[in-house]
């Protein structure tokens, strides 16, 4: 009876797959993205949030997102709090701009709600098509460089310097050595296509540090911590502050393009696009993503989004939402491994952050470097994020520079109303609100 329902609901035969294949694909996807269980609480707790509550919120929000994507949209795409956005949440919005983490959660909720409405009214295609490819590339690369800066800072590899702003830290310190070792191991394992390379690197460094007396073992399993410290703690009124609009937009913008790019990329790899090269049920997939973001904000975590690591499950044969459901179950099982997550030191996750940064910075290779009017905004957006320690500022400077350079070069045909309006709004904010 259950097997019959599964076959019918997920249309396994129609997609040429089986329950066994989907389960293996789900396990594979989970192993490639399980590092977020350790990394997300580590980053968000620096904003003042309770580590245990964030751990629970991360697992539950990921599970909810995967269930909605699997059961409703029927796609083998897994979701979890996004890398880059969690760093922006802590280091940009809370520590950089001085907002409370409750207000930052409110901004995440509002961005998710806006994303949901855009998906319902089908405005998302207009927005996606209006943003120049060069800006998308620059923003993706900028987030990667932003993560790299955070990783290097957290490991003590890069330190502050009064004369030069930044300088090389003491590489003989254990934290720096462990971070570099983790990065080297993760990169090498990923090159060898080892499933779960990032998680292996994080856990390997953690265990080594314990054996050498540089880290304490907190245990493996226990009952899940309480989510009460962060549950429904979001401050919507604080998020409605005028100066917070750029933050809400940054969360929305990055999630919108990250999700659309991930969905199309994963679907293309799995042969799930239609004859016109479009993704069927993209509206449902987008609404699943935005719903997960709103739920995550209510639980106590930064933006929940679709993960490109879902491609690992696709390669293993996953073709339906059953793959995502399996990932959801594994995230729920992870709730009982809070002591293990709490034993992961910051330097163990720094190597993972640096590796993710490498992947995201790769988008620079696709920029048109022969056209200065395209290349300059890419570089400005990419460099502004790590140097200002803010994704929002990088997006703003990217749009402003793109519009200004194109206009001065007489390339008015490259400017559409959306870009012009956004550039003017960002310019007004920089000149009058900052």
Question: 210 pLDDT band (50/70/90 cuts)?
Answer: very high
Q: What is the pTM of this model?
A: 0.84
Question: 342 pLDDT band (50/70/90 cuts)?
Answer: confident
Name 48's Cβ contacts closer than 8 Å, sequence gap at least 6: 94, 100, 101
How confident is the model over 379-391, as pLDDT tens digits? Answer: 999 999 899 888 8
Question: 277 pLDDT band (50/70/90 cuts)?
Answer: low
Cβ-contact 69, 285 below 8 angstroms: yes
Cα distances (Å, whole numbers) of residue 229 to 48, 75, 233: 11, 33, 7
CB atoms within 10 A of CB 224: 17
Q: How high is the pLDDT of residue 434?
A: 57
Range of the domain at 337: 2-433
Q: How high is the pLDDT of residue 343?
A: 86
Q: How high is the pLDDT of residue 433?
A: 63
How confident is the model over 78-112, as pLDDT tens digits? Answer: 999 998 889 999 998 999 889 999 999 999 999 99
| Count of structural domains, the chain | 1
Output phi, psi for 166, to 5 deg.
Answer: -130, 155
Instruction: Give the orientation angle of helix 321-333 with respect to helix 51-68, to 10 degrees.
Output: 160
Residue with tokens 């998680």, as numbered in its chain: 199
How confident is the model over 1-51, as pLDDT tens digits? Answer: 777 788 888 988 888 899 999 999 999 899 888 899 999 999 999 999 999
Q: Using CA atoms, how far apart are residues 248 and 240, in angstroms rounded to an integer?
A: 9
**Percent of the chain at pLDDT exceeding 90:** 50
**pLDDT top residue among 128 and 62:** 62
Which residue from 301, 161, 126, 289 is spatially nearest to 231, judged by alpha carbons? Answer: 301
Q: Which helix (H) or strand (E) holds 80?
A: strand 79-81
Q: Which helix (H) or strand (E) holds 145?
A: helix 133-154
Output phi, psi for 306, to 5 deg.
Answer: -70, 140
Cβ-contact 425, 242 below 8 angstroms: no
**Dihedral class, residue 271 (left if φ above 0, else alpha if ψ from -120 to 50, else beta):** left
Q: How high is the pLDDT of residue 182?
A: 94
């Amino acid at each position: 009876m259950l097997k019959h329902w599964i076959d019918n609901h997920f249309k396994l035969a129609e997609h040429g797959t089986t329950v066994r294949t989907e389960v293996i694909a789900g396990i594979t996807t989970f192993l490639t993205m399980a590092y977020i269980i350790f990394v997300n609480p580590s980053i968000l707790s620096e904003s003042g949030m309770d580590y245990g509550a964030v751990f629970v919120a991360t697992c539950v929000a990921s599970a909810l997102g995967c269930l909605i994507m699997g059961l409703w949209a029927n796609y083998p795409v897994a979701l979890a709090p996004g890398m880059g956005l969690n760093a922006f949440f802590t280091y940009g919005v809370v520590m950089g701009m001085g907002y409370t983490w409750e207000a930052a959660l409110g901004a995440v909720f509002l961005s998710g709600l806006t994303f949901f409405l855009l998906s319902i009214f089908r405005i998302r295609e207009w927005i996606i098509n209006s943003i120049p490819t060069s800006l998308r590339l620059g923003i993706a690369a900028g987030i990667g460089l932003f993560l790299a800066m955070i990783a290097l800072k957290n490991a003590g590899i890069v330190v502050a310097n009064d004369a030069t702003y930044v300088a090389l830290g003491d590489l003989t310190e254990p934290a720096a050595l462990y971070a570099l070792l983790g990065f080297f191991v993760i990169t090498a394992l990923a090159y060898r296509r080892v499933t779960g390379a990032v998680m292996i690197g994080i856990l390997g460094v953690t265990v080594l540090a314990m054996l050498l007396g540089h880290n304490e073992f907190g245990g493996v399993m226990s009952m899940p911590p309480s989510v009460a410290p962060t549950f429904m703690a979001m401050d919507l009124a604080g998020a409605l502050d005028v100066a917070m609009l750029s933050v809400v937009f940054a969360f929305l913008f990055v999630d919108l393009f990250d999700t659309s790019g991930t969905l199309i990329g994963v679907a293309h790899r799995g042969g799930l696009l239609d004859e016109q090269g479009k993704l069927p049920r993209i509206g449902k997939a987008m609404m699943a993503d935005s719903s997960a973001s709103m739920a995550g904000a209510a639980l106590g975590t930064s933006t929940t989004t679709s993960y490109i690591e879902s491609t690992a499950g696709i390669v293993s044969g996953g073709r339906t939402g059953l793959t995502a459901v399996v990932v959801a179950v594994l995230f729920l099982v992870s709730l009982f491994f809070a002591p293990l997550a709490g034993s992961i030191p910051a330097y163990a996750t720094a190597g993972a952050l640096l590796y993710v940064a490498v992947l995201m910075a790769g988008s620079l290779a696709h920029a048109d470097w022969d056209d200065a009017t395209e290349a300059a905004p890419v570089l400005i957006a990419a460099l502004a994020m790590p140097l200002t320690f803010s994704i929002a500022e990088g997006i703003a400077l990217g749009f402003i520079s793109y519009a200004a350079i194109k206009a001065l070069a007489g390339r008015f045909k490259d400017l559409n109303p959306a870009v012009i309006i956004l550039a003017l709004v960002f310019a007004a904010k920089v000149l009058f609100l900052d």
